[in-house]
A and B are shown apart, each in its own frame.
Chain A
Amino acid sequence: MMSNTIKTICAEQWRYWLRTKVATTVLILGSVLTLAALVVNAFHIEEAAHARENLQHEAEERFLSQPDKHPHRMVHYGHYVFRTPTPLSVIEPGVDTYTGNAIFLEGHRQNSAMFAEQRQSAGLTRFSSLTPSFLALVLAPLFIILIGYGSVSREREAGTLTLLLTQGASRWQLVLGKLVALMLASSIFLLPLLLACLYVAFSNESALVVTLFCLGYALYFLLWAVVVTACSTLFEKSSASFTVLIVIWMSACILLPRMGSSVATSVEPSIGKLEADFKVEEKLRNLGDGHDVNDPAFVKLKQELLDKYNVNSVDDLPVNFRGIVAQYSEQRQAVVINEFAESRMQEELAQARIARQFGWLSPTVALRSFSTLLAGTSIETHHRFLREAEILRMQFVQGLNKVHVEKLDYKLDMNRNSSEEAADKAVVEASNWAVLSEFSFQPEAPMARLSSAAMYCLQLLLWVGVAALLLKLAVRRLNP
């Protein structure tokens, strides 16, 4: 296993860190922050999960407890769905605070998600957030740098490097000893994260996903420890190693993720929902208004029905013609709406993918993509939520329309506006509201998440390879 020389060098390094204030302060600060972030975030997510689950139940109960009424009124009464956070959002909340988490579902319209939490933060959490993933991705590398930038160069500056090498330590042993020491130090930041993952694994997340999630973070920490040790070995002076490492940190952790986001916006402009809505309306204008049975667009539908049932007027049809029209136009409209919704989602996905290509330039971006995808807090999972909400919307709206067709008499229906008594007659029983099914949002299946995260795992591995090469180069060039 590890040679005694490496062990000695590692222990010596730790003795040095514990003596100096900077290193101990950083170690304490880092671990306290990570713990605080975990606790605060875990409480927050737990609370949000409860609140949204309760609202979901409340919405379902309210729908089901509606009195007897006209089925089309229930179409407009609508329903709410709430997205509950995924288990791993305790560590990586991802886009959760940026997307709304509630959608109002109703007939004839596809609404967007409401109440993005970010709006309530008054800009305080725009650069940083007290989330474990921000600490691990952005701050931990800085801590690793502050602890380790001088590990080898300090020995050189103090003249002890020659001593160490002449006493029989090989160059690799020396550098590995320093690296192991730094890895141990960085694992102090990693440890709370791993414990939290263990906790998540015992809730209801796939063990494989959680393991790979942990592994991703462990690789990332290893990567930084390697880079820091390599730079410290490469540069003659501690100050040069320090400056270079800080510049690397600034570009990889702060600058490039944002560059990616800005480049994606300009390379792949996306039309907003409003603009898409206009296009939908333009297309729909020719399709007819589902509220008005006399709209010319429905004449053909009417004729077909009359022929089918071999009757002369809609009054004689065994089904409610208004319901048929509502059903028919809802279906046609949904096709158009979803065509545009789908293309909007594809645009957003394309943008996100461009931003993620910056993972080839920055390991931080690579791990960010990897961890949001695995945690189910990426744009993909949000889109999944939107799609499932749409499925539910069509299901209950068309279910109600079916009730309208089959269970409501056409003449009573047409007469409904003549008086309040007539309106009271044009209703169906409340038991029909059971067409609404329960909604409980789940992220993609573990395998699906793993396969979409595979590419970003590759980016991360590439970075580990680059770092290893850098270390090799540094060792080769190590001269006292």
Chain B
Amino acid sequence: MMRFNDIKREAGFVFAHRQFKLTLLVVFLLSTAALWSGHAEMQAQQATIERLLEKDQVEREAVLSHQDSYGMVAYYAFHLTYAPPSPLAFAVVGERDVFPWKHRVRMLALEGQIYESDTDNPELAFLGRFDFAFVVSVLLPLFIILLLYDLKAKEREARRFDLLNVTARNSHAVWTSRTLVTLVPLALVTLVPFVAFAIVNGASVSSILLACIIVLGTISVWSAIVLAIGAAQRFAKYSATHLASLMLGVWLITTVIVPVTGHTVINAAVETPEGGKIVLTQREAVNGAWDKPVEETWEKFIETHPQWSDYTAYDPKRDGSFNWKWYFAFQQVGDESASELSNAYQQATIRKNQLAGYVSLLSPSLLTQRLLSNTASTNVQSMIDYENKVRAFHASLREFYYQQLFAAPEFSESSLKRLPQFTTSSQFTTTPMNTQENTNEK
């Protein structure tokens, strides 16, 4: 049994070490610095989104103001889409610096636009992000090793080892309480700044709790690894630093070797279409359409949009001097020609992510990183969800404009008020004019 007095005595011993207090201070500073930099980054992203929204409005109004046909509007008007950072994104930048979180699309073929990316400075992304998740998943295990590897050796050197074992009511309890008084302050200096920043950022209580549990889990797992190695009979004859080398070996294998090996294996195992092929295919289809008979485009278009089969005839009086509906129809057909490749590309990304999930079961660091980025919605899946939201939004734009181009009502600026707006919720619906739905769009 541990008693409060034991703990108090151990705390006295542990805190008497300057090295321990220094480590706590360093971890506290690192945690705070990482949180602050993530916080500043997310504030900046939020501000960017707000500025973009404003400019998007101004720009589109400027474009709309001097157009007089739906075709021209559809051709020239861009629409902003974005994925705002979640309240916890400040702690885990995650995939937000390699996947785009802002995008502008227009009515042209989407496959030619969706892979455009406005990501951050690649050299900085390459150097890596110093965020809270990094501190927890990579650095914290190292600090735990540094704090615990010579738990017993230190006392032996100070010639207190036997004294401690003899004077304590239960020799086991001494080491348990010593481990606790080492780890609890460590957890506190890591988590207290996190909770403070999380509250400032308005994260939900459940997500904060979840993140804290993940961090505590990481600390427990690594402490267990370190203590198990330290207590193993096999290594009883090893010096403290030899033990520490072993612990670092475990860190190295799980944090570095497992992920990179996993990456190499997954890359070899999952067939991924060459990205360049998607855009080349799409471009050939779109540009080839100009040289093909118009009927060929209509045939393919009507397959997926049977509701417009009676509206394909071009009448310059009604449709304006340029056959816009044919133009946008072959954009659609172009997308469809590349959709198989494009789907396969996305599926490969998802599959690789899934497999990476299994790999992470072998690597506590990777697991921590992934769990935290799941909590903060900065994981691969969230970024793919965003991409699909852009696709859905583009589909709703098409639905809106097809309505205008095919049913060909008189052009009126007021009807443009019903233009679909991108929202961060997943549903996009144009204000229905009639009940025709098109469900075949990807």
Contact = CB atoms under 8 A, between A and B. Distances in A.
Given A118-B125, A250-B139, A239 B279 contact: no
Interface string B89-128: 0000011001100111000000010011111111111111
A264 interface: yes
A259 B116 contact: no
Nearest to B37: A262
Given A139-B256, A278-B52, A120 B128 contact: no
B55 A278 contact: yes
B415 to A, nearest CB: 23
Interface string B349-393: 100110110010000011001100100000110010000000000
Contacts, number: 249
Interface string A245-284: 0110010001101111111111001111111011001100
A142 interface: yes
Interface residues of A, number: 96
B6 interface: no
**Chain A: interface secondary structure?**
helix
A67 B291 contact: yes
Contacts of A73: 287, 290
B248 A261 contact: no
Interface string A87-115: 00000001101111010100000011111
Interface residues of B, number: 103
Interface stretch (B162-170, B188-196, B238-246): B238-246
B245 A115 contact: no
Interface stretch (B222-230, B257-265, B299-307, B396-404): B257-265
Contacts of B205: none
A72 B353 CA distance: 42
A435 B359 CA distance: 50
Contact of A149 (B123, B241, B272, B373): B241
B280 interface: yes
Given A114-B116, A239-B241, A255 B30 contact: yes
A55 to B, nearest CB: 5
Contacts of A66: 287
A82 interface: yes
A261 B128 contact: yes
Nearest to A76: B287
A274 B52 CA distance: 8
**By DSSP majority rule, is chain B's interface helix, strand, loop, or mixed?**
helix
A322 interface: no
A123 interface: yes
Contact of B118 (A80, A146, A273): A273
B257 A348 contact: no
A100 B117 contact: yes
B155 interface: no
Contacts of A254: 138-139
Interface string B255-284: 111011111101100001011110110011
B203 interface: no
A146 B245 contact: yes
A78 interface: yes
Contacts of A271: 48
Nearest to A68: B291
A146 B248 contact: yes
Contacts of B373: 123
A342 to B, nearest CB: 15
Contacts of B94: 123
Contacts of B150: 239
Contacts of A82: 276
B372 to A, nearest CB: 11
A122 B356 contact: yes
A51 interface: yes
A170 interface: no
A55 B276 contact: yes
B241 A150 contact: yes
Contacts of A80: 276, 279-280
A125 B356 CA distance: 10
Nearest to A237: B157
A266 B279 contact: no
B41 A261 contact: no
Interface in B60-110: 62, 80, 94-95, 98-99, 102-104
Given A98-B122, A124-B356, A417 B117 contact: no
A364 B221 CA distance: 30
B428 to A, nearest CB: 20
Given A77-B287, A258-B134, A269-B44, A122 B352 contact: yes
B51 interface: yes
Contact of A102 (B52, B260, B279): B279
A130 B244 contact: no
Contacts of A99: 122
B195 to A, nearest CB: 21
Contact of A243 (B19, B48, B255, B316): B19
Nearest to A56: B276
Contact of A33 (B121, B246, B257, B369): B257
Interface of B: 19, 30, 33-34, 37, 40-41, 44, 48, 51-52, 55-56, 59, 62, 80, 94-95, 98-99, 102-104, 112, 115-131, 134, 137-139, 142, 146, 150, 153, 157, 239-242, 244-246, 248-249, 252, 255-257, 259-264, 266-267, 272, 274-277, 279-280, 283-284, 287, 290-291, 294, 316, 321-323, 348-349, 352-353, 355-356, 359, 365-366, 369-370, 373, 379-380, 383
6 cross-chain pairs, A with B, having the tightest CB-CB distances, nearest first: A115-B275, A122-B356, A258-B130, A130-B260, A98-B122, A261-B127
8 contacts: A26-B245, A67-B291, A112-B117, A113-B117, A120-B267, A127-B256, A150-B241, A266-B40
Given A125-B260, A262-B129, 19 more contacts: A69-B291, A95-B123, A102-B275, A113-B117, A114-B117, A114-B279, A118-B98, A122-B352, A122-B355, A123-B356, A123-B369, A125-B263, A254-B138, A257-B128, A258-B128, A259-B33, A260-B127, A273-B118, A352-B123
